[in-house]
Structure 1
Amino acid sequence: MRYTFKPDDCMVITIPLGSIRSIREGQLMPEKFTCIFKDAYKVFLKGRPKELGAAQLSIGAFVICIGILLALEYDGHHLVYTLPCALYIASGILSFAAGKSPFMPVVKLSFIFNVISLFWSIAAIVICSVMSQGPYGRNDISKSHMFVGLKVVICVLCGLELILALVLIYWESKAICRPHFNTLPLITIKQDV
């Protein structure tokens, strides 16, 4: 016969029994015993979601500020790849909130936003490097260098966001995606001698 449930050491309950020799009426089972639960949310907290969320938030704000600077100084079409970086701000807020409280729907929402942020950071790097700067004469060489420098900063920040999103996706998947749902706790009964 095949067992449907098996213990997986996610929850270990240890019940110390009293000695059978020194037993009194109703004293075999103790009033208190230990239960160690390897919670998936506690594993997620090892990834430092509050710190990574704050980093995501600041990267998103910084990219938007640089994008507005590019739009004011050079051309408004650079807002196409910088304004959607507000998604990084939303991801950062959700990651911070997920690290602050063990409310699983917030962790799941943060996971979804981090997956979207991962794909947007790849798209933003590609769009940023493909978009041209426009015609500048020989007198505008410093303006051209400034433009290229700002675009490089945006690409580096989007690359950092890509790394942060990957790290957060890894730790959030440990909290959300569980390998087994048909598991029982491992119960250990210890008898005093």
Structure 2
Amino acid sequence: MRYTFKPDDCMVITIPLGNLRNTGDGHLMPEKFTCVFKDAYKVFLKGRPKELGAAQLSIGVFVICIGSLITHEYGPSHLVYTLPSALFIASGILSFAAGNSPFMPVVKLSFIFNIISLFWSISAIVLCSENMFAGLKVVIIVLCALELILALILIFWESKAVCRSHFNTLPLISIKQEA
């Protein structure tokens, strides 16, 4: 027969039993025992989403400002690879909001926007490096590379909160007897 439920490390309950020789009637089980619960949202908070979200927001603003300088100098055709960096701003706001409140739809939306930002940062790096003619494009490439790194880090930590198994898990119960 195959087990349909398996214990995982999300909840560990430890019950210390008294010594069978030294305890009297009814004193084998303790009144209190420890239960450790590993919350997926608290694991996500270890990734520092507020700080990374603020960095994403700053990168998005810088890229759009530099893009407007390039557009002013070389024409509006260069907005193609700087204007979609507004995704970085949206991702930063959502990452900061996800770090502020444990509202799972915000975390999921931030996860989706960070995946899209990851792909846009890769696309922006490729688009900027094709016809390099301005020193400002190098700055945009560096900022997009930083955004790529930030998006990867946030995707890693948000996946720990979003992609978790809800079913078929039971708490791990360990019973320890005193010596």
Fold conserved between structures, TM > 0.5? yes
| Aligned residue number for residue 168 of structure 2 | 182
Q: Could you tell me whether the CA contact under 8 Å between 2:16 and 2:29 is conserved in 1?
A: no
* Superposed CA offset, 1:38-61 (max 9, x none): 122222122111111111000000
Report the AA paired with residue 138 of structure 2. V
Post-superposition Cα deviations, 1:140-193, rounded to whole Å, max 9, x if no partner, equal xxxxxxxx1111101110111111111111111122222573110012345668
Which of 124, 131, 136 is matched with 1:150 structurally? Answer: 136
Q: 1:92 to 1:112 in 2, by over 3 A?
A: same
**Larger deviation: 60-69 or 120-129?**
120-129
Q: Residues of 2 paired with 1:56 and 1:170: CA distance?
A: 15
Taking the aligned partners of 1:28 and 1:12, their CA distance within structure 2 comes to 17
Is 2:61 the partner of 1:61?
yes
1:170 aligns with 2:156: yes
- Which residue identity does 1:38 align to in structure 2? K
Q: Write the deviation string for residues 108-140 of structure 1: whole angstroms up to 9, x where unpaired.
A: 11110000001111111122223575xxxxxxx
The CA distance in 1 between the partners of 2:14 and 2:104, in whole Å, is 27
Query: Does residue 160 of structure 1 match 2:146?
Result: yes
The 3-state SS of whatever aligns with 1:36 is strand
**Pairing of 1:100-119 with structure 2 (within 5 A):** 100-119=100-119
Unpaired runs of at least 5, structure 1: 134-147
Q: Which residue of 2 aligns with 1:144?
A: none
Change (3 A) 1:5 1:15: same
- Structure 2 portions without partners, runs of 5+: none
Aligned residues: 176
Match of 2:24, SS state, is: coil
Structure-2 residue corresponding to 1:42: 42
Q: 2:40 & 2:70 partners in 1: Cα distance? A: 43
Does 1:83 find its partner at 2:83?
yes
For residue 34 of structure 2, what is the amino acid of its counterpart?
Answer: T
Identity %: 78
| TM-align CA RMSD | 2.3
Say which one has the larger Rg. 1
Deviates further, 41-50 or 79-88: 41-50
Take 2:145 and 2:132, find their aligned partners in 1: how far apart are those partners?
Answer: 20
Cα distance between partner residues in 2 of 1:189 and 1:132: 66
- Match of 2:93? 93
Which residue type is aligned with residue 26 of structure 2?
I
Q: Which deviates further from its counterpart, 32-41 or 58-67?
A: 32-41
2-side partners of 1:170 and 1:56: how far apart? Answer: 15
